[in-house]
Amino acid sequence: MVTAFVYFCLAANLVAAVYICIGLFQYFMSHR
């Protein structure tokens, strides 16, 4: 249970990182 939660946390980190990368990409595209 605890282990599953920790791995879920790691997955959430990666999802957050991807979300930010998409935001950065969109920002650079709209401010070229």
**Residue ranges that bind other proteins, judged by CB under 8 A:** 2-3, 5-6, 8-10, 12-14, 16-17, 19-24, 26-27, 31
Tokens matching residue 13: 């980190």
Minimum CB distance to other proteins, residue 24 (Å):
5
Minimum CB distance to other proteins, residue 27 (Å):
6
Minimum CB distance to other proteins, residue 25 (Å):
9
Tokens matching residue 28: 């650079």
Tokens matching residue 16: 């957050």
For the residues of 2-16, what is the DSSP string, one character each?
HHHHHHHHHHHHHHH
